[in-house]
A and B are shown apart, each in its own frame.
Chain A
Amino acid sequence: MNSPVICPRCAFETVDKLATSPVPGVWDVLQCGQCLYTWRTIEPARRTQRDAYPEQFRMTLADIENAIEVPAVPPLRTTG
């Protein structure tokens, strides 16, 4: 792998390894530190490479910050 790993979905540059294949050296499972997108390194390019990642599934920091809460956090209920 020549270029540094970035998130295919949001282009964030901090990517963590969540898991590695039980058969050594076959694949890793990576996760973006920003959008939590998770992928296996041997998945098709459309899921693993920023250039090939489909436009409609891309996500920006604004998308993440402005995403609605489901369900909304309710108001704290004070006793009494």
Chain B
Amino acid sequence: MAYDDLRSFLATLEKEGQLLRITEEVLPEPDLAAAANATGRIGENAPALYFDNVTGFTDARIAMNVHGSWANHALALGLPKNTPVKEQVETFAARWDAFPVAPERREDAPWRENTQEGPDVDLFSMLPLFRLNDGDGGFYLDKAAVVSRDPEDPDDFGKQNVGTYRIQVIGADRLAFQPVPMHDIAQHLRKAEEKGEDLPIAITLGNDPVITVVAGMPMAYDQSEYEMAGALRGAPAPIATAPLTGFDVPWGSEVVIEGVIESRTRQIEGPFGEFTGHYSGGRRMPVIRVDRVSYRTDPVFESLYLGMPWTEVDYLVGPNTCVPLLKQLRAEFPEVQAVNAMYTHGLMVIISTAKRYGGFAKAVGMRAMTTPHGLGYVAQVILVDEDVDPFNLPQVLWSMSAKVNPKDDVVIIPNLSVLELAPAAQPAGITSKMIIDATTPVSPDVRGNFSTPAKDLPETKEWAAKLQKLIASRG
């Protein structure tokens, strides 16, 4: 089941009991953020939230926590809502193999219904903007798919980037935003600023659920997010041409904001409570001038609460971070069984792998740190055996408790790269990195006493599937 827009997905969430309409009047602050914050504290199958009765607004429509549970993540991929996490990641990885799937261009985008242009642009009149965390510098667009092109190769569809970045509303037609240097849009901006040129940009809000997944996914610079969305949806991604920039934007967006990042300009932005569970900023960040806004009649404003994990962002970028690392590791090391990179966008990663020979697992750990995503994130790697499920944390901790000899199995490498937002980095952007090898040593690495492990009974897998089916059919 492929969803072409946010509204059709919200309808499915409601049908599946995964959308909660809050009908009582709520305050824009702190209620909206506090309610979404609470979804991360009431269990891992929390619903999406929908608000339409917000103090002072006449027609606010706000969706939050749309991806914020394993059930919702499964439904976004068109899977049954009770699909186990490991299976969601495996399905994601299997669908990846269909990449690239060409998108389908459509001309009748619903966001063409309404327009604000030039001096008439007023984001506050169109969107029910609000604050998330106490220390945030202002109101944020934090769940957009932001489209930009490589200024030196604007016709290359693959180099056109679709990404998610934090964006502060600093005026009726002005935004400040944060391009982390490791991310593709920072490369686009650097090329434009080296020439003293503005960088055109399209910011799309309220997108279909898979566009949001790929926009937050660490893909290669020249890989198209739209072609990946097609692979993950199992159907071409519908796109349309944005009227001002001519960029390719999702057909089903609620709002399309177009303008430019003003060249060589920086202005104070933030702080903002980030996915790291810490505030970052204020820093002097690039500034966007909004020249045109296109929007559906009665647009739904989708936002995302993030703060101390777990929050929606952890469900959103968990599986989509696991899969690129899994694919890149398996390309050279087919022994790799599964990768859990769901903690703080992969700052910590757990990998299960078979061993080719003694010392092999540590090599897999080092490779994880040198993948494109690993360069900016992977600071700790835990290696576990091939029969350990890296998503099953009790099994992971069992491996660490039973198999790690700290002197030989913990490796620390100093002064490696990490994104500047990593709270433990010192200085910002530099950190030591650690490998914990919690696998069973194999020859010629002969250490410990691991000769008689207890294994699951041969029939256990079959029974696990049977029990899951019985539980699901119980409703």
Contact = CB atoms under 8 A, between A and B. Distances in A.
A8 to B, nearest CB: 11
Contacts of A74: 190, 193-194
Interface string B183-213: 0001001100111100000000000000000
Contact of B172 (A19, A36, A75): A19
Contacts of B172: 18-19
A1 interface: no
Q: Which of B55, B178, B264 has the most CB of A within 10 A?
A: B55
B131 A43 contact: yes
Contact of A43 (B30, B169, B285, B286): B30
Contact of A71 (B27, B169, B170, B186): B186
Interface string B392-403: 000000000000
B56 A22 contact: yes
B284 A68 contact: yes
Interface string A21-60: 1110011010100011111101110110000001011010
A19 B124 contact: yes
B139 A38 contact: yes
B171 A63 contact: no
Q: Which of A56, A73, A77 has the most CB of B within 10 A?
A: A73
Contacts of B196: 76
Nearest to A24: B56
Contacts of B190: 71, 74
B135 interface: yes
Interface stretch (B2-10, B265-273, B371-379, B450-458): B265-273
A59 B59 CA distance: 35
Given A68-B284, A75-B194, A47 B131 contact: yes
A75 B283 CA distance: 19
B195 A77 contact: yes
B117 interface: no
Contacts of B420: 70
B29 interface: yes
Contact of A37 (B134, B137, B169): B137
A67 interface: yes
Interface in B269-293: 269, 271, 279, 281-286
Contacts of A29: 124, 129, 139
Contact of B55 (A18, A26, A54, A63): A26
B134 A42 contact: no
Q: Which of A29, A71, A75 has the most CB of B within 10 A?
A: A71
Given A67-B283, A76-B196, A42 B55 contact: yes
B273 to A, nearest CB: 11
B57 interface: yes
Contacts of A44: 29-30
Contacts of B130: 40
Nearest to A56: B135
B29 A43 contact: yes
A61 B133 CA distance: 23
Contacts of A39: 131, 138
Contacts of A42: 27-29, 55-56
A67 B55 contact: no
A72 B129 CA distance: 29
A1 to B, nearest CB: 17
B58 interface: yes
B164 to A, nearest CB: 17
Nearest to B29: A43
Contacts of B58: 22-23
Nearest to B196: A76
A68 B178 CA distance: 12
Given A23-B57, A36-B267, A74-B190, A63 B282 contact: yes
A44 B130 CA distance: 13
B181 interface: yes
B130 to A, nearest CB: 8
Contacts of B279: 57
A53 B437 CA distance: 46
19 contacts: A18-B124, A18-B171, A23-B55, A26-B55, A38-B170, A40-B29, A42-B28, A42-B56, A43-B30, A43-B131, A47-B134, A57-B271, A63-B282, A70-B179, A70-B181, A70-B283, A71-B179, A71-B189, A73-B266
Given A37-B137, A67-B283, 17 more contacts: A18-B171, A19-B124, A23-B56, A27-B28, A29-B124, A31-B171, A36-B137, A38-B170, A39-B138, A42-B27, A42-B28, A42-B29, A47-B131, A56-B135, A64-B268, A70-B179, A74-B190
Closest 8 CB pairs of A and B: A38-B138, A21-B56, A19-B124, A26-B56, A77-B194, A57-B135, A22-B58, A69-B284
